[in-house]
Amino acid sequence: MSPRQDNENFTASTFRRMSELLRQSGPFIGAVYVQVGAIALLGGIGYMADRWRDSFPFYFVIGIAAGIVVGLYEMAKLILKK
């Protein structure tokens, strides 16, 4: 085999392996996005409730905590499924 063919084989196998690893990690990446989204959404709802009720940081902290619980639940569901 020539050095060029060796390099092409190495490149092709590297891209195939990277593609396989990304495919396998897709559900976990999605779970991280769900966790970040839950914290941001529920924290934002808590912040808006605090502005409406003039009680900062009570509802904000509750919203952040609820977002963390929802995110961890989704992550546990994914991990325990495997």
Tell me which residue range forms the domain holding 53.
26-81
Mean pLDDT of 59-73: 96
Residue 15 lies in a domain: no
Q: How many CB atoms lie within 10 A of CB 60?
A: 20
**What is the total count of domains within the chain?**
1
Confidence of residue 10 (pLDDT cuts 50, 70, 90): confident
Residue 13 lies in a domain: no
Residue 2 lies in a domain: no
Measure the CA angle with vertex 58, ends 53 and 62; round to 5°.
Answer: 115
Which of these, 27, 21, 17, lies nearest to 82 by C-alpha position?
27
pLDDT score recorded for residue 12: 85
Mean pLDDT of 8-18: 86
Residues near 1 by Cβ (< 8 Å), separated by ≥ 6? Answer: 9
Residue 45 lies in a domain: yes
pLDDT score recorded for residue 43: 97
82 vs 72: which has the higher pLDDT: 72
Residue 3 lies in a domain: no
Residue 9 lies in a domain: no
Residue 37 lies in a domain: yes
pLDDT tens readout for residues 17-63: 999 999 999 998 999 999 999 999 999 999 999 999 999 999 999 99
